[in-house]
Amino acid sequence: MSLEWKGVMPAVTTKFTTEDTLDIDLFKVNIQAQLDEGVHGLVLGGSLGEASTLSETEKRVLTKETVAMVKGKVPVLMNIAEQTTKGAILAAQYAEEDGANGLMMLPPMRYKSCDRETVAYFKTVANSTTLPIMIYNNPVDYKIEVNLDMFEELMACKNIEAVKESTRDITNVTRIKNRFGDRLKIMTGVDTIALESLIMGADGWIAGLVCAFPAETVAIYELQRVGRIKEAIAIFRWFLPLLELDINPKLVQNIKLAEVYTKIGSEQVREPRLPLYGEERQQVINIIENALKLRPTLPEYKNL
């Protein structure tokens, strides 16, 4: 499958049982809900997927189960977030063996690499695989920025095709388009500025709250794609209090709680994370319940 960098691609949550094992049955419930509402791809094992807590074996199980379930309907991407170049190469090879259609790659974990080291890391891993790669550029959370000059060097690797743009600087969409045109596809990665990014030329949206609200997320994308901007804005304004749950240190707990309310997930997280508690939990519940009370009726968006 050739990978088209467009549309809504959920950064899916990883489901766990009360015994702290993978809950594949519940995971498939959520994946089916995403497919039913028309998502364009799936990203496994990202930050929202609790990547840092997953074993190599668990990542491989998630990849194989998802690939088998979707049967080529949409591309399946596996995230790579490793401490060493050797570990990242191995993760890329496993993802390719297990049927993934592409990779999302973070800079090296823990060690704050300089620009030269970061470029060398990405290039070395890219040259070890035939899979198309999206670089995850999130200096806010991961403290390493991949700037335009670094991307210029990375363009030597033909399979580095896209960026998950998460700098939170909306003008970066225009800068990337001005510099690289369509050579570097842009997938916006910050829920709260997703619509603005799409209107300014981003090709798609790696989304978080889609895990609980797939219909609304896909509707926003499809409506803006065909120029029905006012309708997209109306849904986005309703959505914003929920989307802000994604730009929070406890985004995993927040979004998993939202999944409970929409009946396509559970609150089970892997320690050291713990489910939300007390006043913090109630604040998130208030946001979710208020959004559900005001949930908009969506126009037909699947065949636009």
Q: What does the pLDDT look like over 240-261, one tens digit per residue?
A: 999 999 999 999 999 999 999 9
Residue 168 and residue 152: Cα distance in Å, rounded? 21
Percent of residues, the chain, with pLDDT higher than 90? 99
The answer to the question of residue 35 being in a domain is yes
Query: For the chain, how many structural domains are there in total?
Result: 1
pLDDT at 154: 98
Average pLDDT, integer, range 99-108 = 98
pTM of the shown model: 0.97
Distance between CA atoms of residues 242 and 255, nearest Å: 9
Distance of CA 47 to the CA centre of its chain: 8
CA 91/CA 13 separation, integer angstroms: 19
Across the chain, mean pLDDT equals 97
Give a yes or no: residue 304 inside a domain: no
Report the percent of the chain where pLDDT is more than 70.
100
What type of residue is 163? V
Residue 240's pLDDT is 98
Q: What is the Cα–Cα distance from 246 to 243, expressed in whole angstroms?
A: 6
Q: Angle at which helices 24-36 and 56-70 pack, to 10 degrees?
A: 40
* pLDDT tens-digit series, residues 139-172: 999 999 999 999 999 999 999 999 999 999 999 9
Closest CA to 79 of 129, 135, 145: 135
In a domain, 300, yes or no: no
Range of the domain at 145: 7-293
Q: Is the pLDDT of residue 2 over 80?
A: no
| Any domain includes 265 | yes
The alpha carbon torsion through 216, 193, 200, 236 (nearest 10 deg) reads: 30
Model confidence at 1: pLDDT above 70:
no
Distance of CA 245 to the CA centre of its chain: 14
Three-state secondary structure call for residue 228: coil
Q: Has residue 2 been placed in a domain?
A: no
Mean pLDDT score, 280-286: 98
Q: Which residues of 136-171 are buried (b: 16+ CB within 10 A; e: fewer)?
A: bbbeeebebebeeebbebbeebeebbbbbbbbeebe
In a domain, 55, yes or no: yes
Summarised one tens digit per residue, pLDDT across range 169-201 is 999 999 999 999 999 999 999 999 999 999 999
DSSP state, 211? G
Within 10 Å of residue 58's Cβ, how many Cβ atoms?
17
Query: Which CATH number belongs to the domain containing residue 165 in this structure?
Result: 3.20.20.70
Task: Flag whether 169 is in a domain.
Answer: yes
**In this structure, how many other beta carbons lie within 10 angstroms of the beta carbon of residue 285?**
15
Identify whether the C-beta of residue 8 lies closer than 8 Å to the C-beta of residue 40: yes
- With respect to residue 151, please indicate whether it lies within any of the assigned structural domains: yes
